[in-house]
Chains A and B, each alone.
Chain A
């Protein structure tokens, strides 16, 4: 069951990731952004399979939620019509291939060195319960100051963006 889920999510992540950068049907930036959301959600599924529930939740909340909304805002504000007509340059393709190839080489070389499956399953760290306990005991003061920071940010945003204040 776990294996099947892993392969499903891994396949989905790769497929959606591919569709973000090279969608054969549409070159609309908004479509790309939407596929990025799906990529991130499939990644969150992989995190769940690793028992990293907090990371999975943060992945969905922060990346799929907040960061993507920001992306969409920028895309819509900038009105990237030119992007749809843009030709793909050879130099860009070569540069991209070289850099991804280098990363792939490093990844494969380290993967081949490490024996797979022989090690014990690692201890799960960073669970929600442990994190919450730390936040409300040891790191309570910084946590509370962050709430103040958010207040300042809200006041600032209202002041700087509202049309006419009294």
Chain B
């Protein structure tokens, strides 16, 4: 067995444990800066991953710990994705640090532990690893969500997430037990060999459906979306950002693995189910977002809609659809993280993160206003931004499947209707920035240098992915080559 396959996870863990230890000797004022250390460490690991880790062409999948842990194109794609997301979130956390009364070093360390859970999840090739990595992510987020102990909304969000998360865990583990009881294996590779013969076994299908329920909670797709708005609203802003991108992407990484590596023969017959979940998520998220005044809550509903858009690519059951999912997630990373960074800076001290708090933002800080405008345009899917091209790829994949099943055409129309609805509330946010009724506070907002660089990077990412999609699309196509 080759331990170096786990290098990403081990390095992140070492960094997290190191932070916990260093915290013991540091004076209190210096602790806030630990976030920069953590971010720098994650950045170095990302560079190491980009330049030093490569899969040999002769063996595109490498296994460790039996066949439990798989390092393939998909795993590597998601590992880099999670590292980049964590890097930006950690920089955002340093800005947020003054609003966390105590335990800031642990805050950074817990973020790193959640990151390591996501890294493990992206390589899970076995239900046992799937379960423990999901739990590592979720348990860490229980703590992170309720980190601002003095705020009632934060505690409330933590309790809600704990109860609903525990429920979804119960579903998952029950489903895994049923699948194991019928097939006598937890391994995805072995399961793919025998799954076809259990295609009519009700217990096996019931077990798989329960596992999907658990993953549905993670990605916040209808009808398992009920927690998202409350938790997004109550959690500290960097945690919400990490939840919106990291937790959701981890859910999709596992969903792709379960559906297209473990049980591809059964997935092929589930197109109806996936079409319905995707369509209803899009409509539910977009319609419920319209009346929202709280910006984080609005993004919570929008994230439900985006889970629906991402499921378009899964429902398409084609290689094009799966690579579109990876592409869309990458665009979503830059978009959503820049939106949350702006919320973190601009709505400091605004009670309830009301949209009205953005009034006059273009005079307080043109950079923040421009970033927010671009992020909203990208979420809505306006060309030439990343969100537009991602949606285009997803819809293209769905329309291509149209001749096989009329449901795909209905799904396309639903998605387009969802995009039109979403224009209304996304541009409501832009309007609040540039055409305020009256702006109470016009003091300029100081944007620190690391955050400035982050925002430039996010804007660059949104524009680059929208204008020059070929590079990432090629990478995404490579990553999903082994799924079927």
A155, B143: Cβ atoms closer than 8 Å: yes
Residues of B within 8 A of A139 (CB): 68, 128
Interface residues of A in 145-162 (CB under 8 A from B): 145-146, 148-149, 151-153, 155-156, 159-160
CA gap between A156 and B162 in the complex, in Å:
13
Q: Given contacts A140-B65, A165-B103, is CB(A153)–CB(B139) below 8 Å?
A: yes
B136, A145: Cβ atoms closer than 8 Å: yes
CA gap between A152 and B139 in the complex, in Å:
8
Contact with A along B108-150 (1 / 0, CB 8 A): 0110010011001000001011011101100110110011010
Q: Does residue A141 face the partner (Cβ distance < 8 Å to B)?
A: yes
Residues of A within 8 A of B143 (CB): 152, 155-156, 159-160
Q: Given contacts A149-B139, A159-B106, A166-B28, is CB(A142)–CB(B132) below 8 Å?
A: yes
B106, A148: Cβ atoms closer than 8 Å: no
Residues of B within 8 A of A146 (CB): 132
Interface residues of A in 83-114 (CB under 8 A from B): none
Minimum distance in angstroms from B361 CB to a CB of chain A = 34
Minimum distance in angstroms from B56 CB to a CB of chain A = 22
Partner of B131, one of A142, A148, A152, A165: A142
B132, A155: Cβ atoms closer than 8 Å: no
Partner of B128, one of A142, A148, A151, A159: A142
Q: Does residue A164 face the partner (Cβ distance < 8 Å to B)?
A: yes
CA gap between A81 and B139 in the complex, in Å:
34
Number of interface residues of A (CB under 8 A): 19
The chain B residue sitting closest to A138, CB to CB, is B66
Minimum distance in angstroms from A17 CB to a CB of chain B = 25
Residue among B68, B142, B143 with most chain A CB within 10 A: B143
Partner of A155, one of B102, B109, B117, B146: B109
Q: Does residue B205 face the partner (Cβ distance < 8 Å to A)?
A: no
A155, B136: Cβ atoms closer than 8 Å: no
Minimum distance in angstroms from B356 CB to a CB of chain A = 32
Residues of B within 8 A of A155 (CB): 20, 106, 109-110, 143
A148, B28: Cβ atoms closer than 8 Å: no
A156, B110: Cβ atoms closer than 8 Å: yes
The chain A residue sitting closest to B17, CB to CB, is A151
A145, B120: Cβ atoms closer than 8 Å: yes
CA gap between A64 and B34 in the complex, in Å:
43
CA gap between A116 and B102 in the complex, in Å:
64
The chain A residue sitting closest to B131, CB to CB, is A142
Residues of A within 8 A of B149 (CB): 160
The chain A residue sitting closest to B146, CB to CB, is A160
CA gap between A151 and B143 in the complex, in Å:
12
Minimum distance in angstroms from A30 CB to a CB of chain B = 26
CA gap between A141 and B132 in the complex, in Å:
9
CA gap between A166 and B105 in the complex, in Å:
11
A141, B28: Cβ atoms closer than 8 Å: no
Residues of A within 8 A of B110 (CB): 152, 155-156
Q: Does residue B69 face the partner (Cβ distance < 8 Å to A)?
A: yes
CA gap between A156 and B146 in the complex, in Å:
10
Q: Does residue B274 face the partner (Cβ distance < 8 Å to A)?
A: no
Residues of A within 8 A of B68 (CB): 138-139, 141-142
CA gap between A96 and B126 in the complex, in Å:
42
CA gap between A141 and B63 in the complex, in Å:
12
The chain B residue sitting closest to A156, CB to CB, is B143
Residues of A within 8 A of B147 (CB): 159
Residues of B within 8 A of A152 (CB): 110, 113, 136, 139-140, 143
Give the top 5 A-B pairs by smallest Cβ distance, nearest first: A156-B143, A165-B102, A141-B65, A142-B132, A145-B132
* B residues in contact (CB < 8 Å) with A: 13, 20, 28, 64-66, 68-69, 101-103, 106, 109-110, 113, 116-117, 120, 126, 128-129, 131-133, 135-136, 139-140, 142-143, 146-147, 149
- 7 pairs across A/B with beta carbons < 8 Å? A142-B129, A149-B135, A152-B113, A152-B136, A159-B102, A160-B143, A165-B102
